[in-house]
Amino acid sequence: MDASLEKKIADPTLAEMGKNLKEAMKMLEDSQRRTEEENGKKLLSGDIPGPLQGSGQDMVSILQLVQNLMHGDEDEQPQSTRIQNIGEQGHISLLGHSLGAYISTLDKEKLRKLTTRILSDTTLWLCRIFRYENGCAYFHEEEREGLAKICRLAIHSRYEDFVVDGFNVLYNRKPVIYLSAAARPGLGQYLCNQLGLPFPCLCRVPCNTVFGSQHQMDVAFLEKLIKDDIERGKLPLLLVANAGTAAVGHTDKIGRLKELCEQYGIWLHVEGVNLATLALGYVSSSVLAATKCGSMTLTPGPWLGLPAVPAVTLYKHDDPALTLVSGLTSNKPADKLRALPLWLSLQYLGLDGIVERIKHACQLSQRLQESLKKVNHIKILVEDELSSPVVVFRFFQELPGSDPGLNAIPAPSAAPSAVGRERHSCDALNRWLGEQLKQLVPMSGLTVMDLEVEGTCVRFSPLMTAAVLGTRGEDVDQLVACVQSKLPVLTCTLQLREEFKQEVEATAGLLYVDDPNWPGIGVVRYEHANDDKSSLKLDPEGEKIHAGLLKKLNELESDLTFKMGPEYKSMKSCIYIGMASDDIDISELVETIAVTAREIEEDSRLLENMTEVVRKGIQEAQVQLQKANEERLLEEGVLRQIPVVGSVLNWFSPVQASQKGRTFNLTAGSLESTEHTYVYKVQGSGVTPPQTPTGTRAKQRLPGQKPFKRSLRGSDAISETSSVSHIEDLEKMEQPSGGQEAAEAKSHERHPGAPAPPEAEPPGALQDGAQGLQDDRPQVEEPESLR
């Protein structure tokens, strides 16, 4: 190329220049290409997140990251959460998910045979264990998903043209799904969202109000609703019954509901925790009737303590096409592999292991029921004590004129306000009791819930928690012991609530705050002078006073706990008084709060006004000093003010000028003359400061007695004779100091302006000191007023 260029260009200089230019352009192009490649790599690496950059990370680093995400940083506080007890059966279940991913890599024919075998085996085992003959199974992660699929199957079964006409068929004859009022929250809304139905398609069936359990579906009212819907041209589609409600574990009358559904052609679906008892030898008739229904949902994961195990919906239907359209069956191997963890776990446990775990949970509930029956002030809300594996109990206090068998429902003669306060008080105490028991016995798996009729209750459902947490019989015994230990605190606090309310309302400056969520004795707020009672906003001055009051109350080292927080209906600060474990003197407590708050308010007001008082006092002192200087100028004359002449005149004729000063009394907030100090050589006392307010009920406490404790009247521990002698000893010990104070008071009455007497000294020292004082002190003529 270069040779041909040299032949074409005769001039060697031009040829050399062309060669050099070509090399330079090549160098520039290579440099530009390298720069673009580097910039492209930087841009690409900048868009990729940090963990994905480079050639990847090793397995140890990835597992370390997962561990940090699971347990958090080391600096964070460890949270007291329930830790699932994962045994060997749990490892088998977790292994099923890994095996499922591995099995999915097999060829299609082997995968089809294996998944079909796993699905058929698991379905057969579950139907035999839970007495559901000739049933099919649908495995799903979300517990409510199976019910949604059953609703689709019911729609396809009752509406033959639904596949062709779609929702036009539903519009002409609207379907109705019946749910119990005691069903799990949000179930109806979930079904409507999954099925695309409007909310009027749901019908809420109330529970019994007169006969039977208050958490069972009212069968007679349900039949009336069905007849009304048929008359309006609607189609009763499906009924959801409960074999163990989500709240208290009550079972509907499934046998009667089954007859009603067969009469009107309604699909019956059953769900609930009591379905687990179908695996036991003895099953109640109400639960056994669920085996004849159209479908039921089981949750073997929490029952058997198996993590990551799907829920199962067993159903009966003869048309495979409709089940396929409804989504209950699938040809995808991945959907069939959902049963693999349960397939492995059931084989590992065996029938004996499955029955043993369910039986153990039922025995725990029966053990707790029998123990709580013997405890006073504890009511158990259980439909059938022999078969229900759920125990719901609450603390209650019988009101005057109430029937203890009716959950302490007050008589009609009781005031409605008193009834409401009693209900709110018991709810707050039960909420406190539940939280305390959860902390003291974490292995019990208790939950606190609010019921519409009974109020706040504590629930023990071992079928859902015992296998997971590893609950034992000793944990139940510890739970009963903790309940018994908390009962004196609950009863004492509930008895003192009304007395505390009356004492606060009768005390000036205090306001009783009715907070239904506070479990303690009560809530009180101090109303200061500038408190705007009509305002609900934050009060800085009141917050400062209550903060100081809280500090003072905690310094008393009493058995009561005090907290400060906003009021229930406003942002104003209040003092919350906790639970009382012993007999408390409410009068002394309320008076201490009022007096202490008043002292804090007066002290804060004095500090706030100090600046203004001092400023005015300085201005007044300046005016008076200027006036005194003018008077001295008139008295001494002008010549004495000249520097040289004034010195000569003062030397020949001294002026006996009186020393006039001013002192500022912070207590009285006024200026006073210092003439009294120069004449009598004593600092004047001025205005006597006001006495600090003290409680009128201040009492002498026995040694070791804590504040706010009532005196032990009539106690066997301290007899009346010993109490009187002890009080006499206290009076004798206080008598010398009291006599000395009386003598000093009498001396001050005789000489108001005289100084305070010196402390007692030995006779010799007293005489020597008096002689020295008589010789050294200047002779001052006694004023005529003292003579």
Structure tokens at 663: 């002192």
Structure tokens at 480: 């009963």
C-alpha 148/C-alpha 429 separation (Å) is: 40
Neighbouring-strand partners of residue 251: 243
C-alpha 192/C-alpha 67 separation (Å) is: 40
Q: Quickly state the pLDDT bin for 652 (edges 50, 70, 90).
A: low
C-alpha 503/C-alpha 512 separation (Å) is: 9
Structure tokens at 360: 């153990």
Mean model confidence pLDDT for the chain: 77
Q: Which residue intervals of 159-241 are DSSP H helices?
A: 162-165, 167-172, 187-195, 219-231
Q: What are phi and psi of 695, to 5 degrees?
A: -70, 140
Alpha-carbon torsion, ordered 375, 380, 383, 388, to 10 deg:
-80
Structure tokens at 644: 């040289």
Higher pLDDT, 252 or 779: 252
Owner of token pair 């521990």 = 717
> Hey, CA dihedral for 753, 757, 758, 761, is it positive or negative?
positive
C-alpha 769/C-alpha 762 separation (Å) is: 11
The whole-angstrom distance between residue 362's C-alpha and the CA centroid of its chain comes to: 31
* pLDDT score at 241: 95
391 and 397 Cβ atoms separated by less than 8 Å: no
C-alpha 594/C-alpha 545 separation (Å) is: 11
466 and 361 Cβ atoms separated by less than 8 Å: yes
The top-scoring range by mean pLDDT among 349-358, 386-395, 523-532, 540-549 is 349-358
C-alpha 513/C-alpha 13 separation (Å) is: 107
Tell me which of 15-19, 28-32, 610-614, 745-749 is least confident: 745-749
Q: What are phi and psi of 205, to 5 degrees?
A: -90, 125
Q: What is the mean pLDDT of residues 678-688?
A: 58
- What separation in angstroms does the CA of 273 have from each of 59, 204, 216, 249, 520? 41, 21, 15, 7, 35
C-alpha 107/C-alpha 114 separation (Å) is: 11
452 and 248 Cβ atoms separated by less than 8 Å: no
C-alpha 755/C-alpha 773 separation (Å) is: 14
50 exposure class (CB count in 10 Å sphere: 0-12, 13-18, 19+): exposed
404 and 416 Cβ atoms separated by less than 8 Å: no
pLDDT in tens, 476-489: 999 999 999 999 99
pLDDT in tens, 514-545: 888 888 888 998 887 776 666 666 677 778 88
Amino acid at 241: A
409: left (phi over 0), alpha (psi -120 to 50) or beta: beta
Considering only the C-alpha atoms of the chain, give the largest distance between any 2 of them, rounded to a whole number of Å. 148
pLDDT above 50 for 605: yes
- What separation in angstroms does the CA of 660 have from each of 343, 529, 631, 673, 715? 107, 40, 11, 7, 67
294 exposure class (CB count in 10 Å sphere: 0-12, 13-18, 19+): buried
The top-scoring range by mean pLDDT among 497-506, 563-572, 720-729 is 497-506
C-alpha 13/C-alpha 25 separation (Å) is: 18
The top-scoring range by mean pLDDT among 366-380, 569-583, 633-647, 727-741 is 366-380
Owner of token pair 């003018």 = 630
Q: Quickly state the pLDDT bin for 749 (edges 50, 70, 90).
A: very low
Q: Quickly state the pLDDT bin for 720 (edges 50, 70, 90).
A: very low
C-alpha 421/C-alpha 497 separation (Å) is: 10
pLDDT in tens, 463-479: 999 988 889 999 999 99
Structure tokens at 22: 């070509």
Q: In which element (H, E) is residue 169 found?
A: helix 167-172
The whole-angstrom distance between residue 445's C-alpha and the CA centroid of its chain comes to: 17
Q: What is the mean pLDDT of residues 768-785?
A: 40
* pLDDT score at 344: 93
C-alpha 288/C-alpha 567 separation (Å) is: 52
Residues 6+ apart with CB under 8 A from 393: 372, 378, 379, 380, 381, 457, 458, 460
DSSP 8-state class, residue 289: G
pLDDT above 80 for 588: yes
Amino acid at 593: I
Q: Quick check: helix, strand or coil at residue 448? A: strand
Higher pLDDT, 499 or 85: 499
Helix axes 473-505, 416-440, angle to 10 degrees: 140
pLDDT above 60 for 625: yes
326 and 149 Cβ atoms separated by less than 8 Å: yes
Measured at the CA of 402, the angle between CA 396 and CA 406, to 5 degrees, comes to 65
C-alpha 551/C-alpha 564 separation (Å) is: 10
Higher pLDDT, 160 or 44: 160
Radius of gyration of the chain (CA): 45
Q: Note the pTM of the prediction, 2 decimals.
A: 0.71
408 and 396 Cβ atoms separated by less than 8 Å: yes
pLDDT above 90 for 228: yes
* Intra-chain end-to-end CA distance of the chain, in Å: 142
pLDDT in tens, 261-307: 999 999 999 999 999 999 998 888 889 999 999 999 999 999 998 88
C-alpha 460/C-alpha 473 separation (Å) is: 13
* pLDDT score at 682: 62
* pLDDT score at 360: 94
Which DSSP string do the residues of 745-787 spell out, in sequence order?
HHHHHH-TTSPPPPPP--HHHHHHHHHHHHHHS---PPPTTT-
Q: Which of 214, 199, 270 is nearest to 241 (CA)?
A: 270
pLDDT above 50 for 568: yes
Structure tokens at 372: 């709580």
124 and 314 Cβ atoms separated by less than 8 Å: no
The top-scoring range by mean pLDDT among 367-376, 535-544, 690-699 is 367-376
Which DSSP string do the residues of 522-577 spell out, in sequence order?
EEEEE--TT--TT--S--HHHHHHHHHHHHHHHHT--SS-EEEEE-SSSS-EEEEE
C-alpha 472/C-alpha 444 separation (Å) is: 8
Q: Quick check: helix, strand or coil at residue 313? A: strand
The length of the chain is: 787
Q: Which residue intervals of 374-415 are DSSP H helices?
A: none
- How many Cβ atoms sit within 10 Å of the Cβ of residue 267? 23
C-alpha 344/C-alpha 93 separation (Å) is: 7
257 and 238 Cβ atoms separated by less than 8 Å: no
Neighbouring-strand partners of residue 379: 394
- What separation in angstroms does the CA of 67 have from each of 56, 92, 183, 332? 19, 21, 38, 34
- How many Cβ atoms sit within 10 Å of the Cβ of residue 288? 16
Measured at the CA of 675, the angle between CA 672 and CA 680, to 5 degrees, comes to 120
- How many Cβ atoms sit within 10 Å of the Cβ of residue 391? 26
- What separation in angstroms does the CA of 264 have from each of 228, 239, 257, 638? 12, 11, 11, 125
Q: Quickly state the pLDDT bin for 747 (edges 50, 70, 90).
A: very low
* pLDDT score at 420: 59
* pLDDT score at 664: 65
DSSP 8-state class, residue 709: B
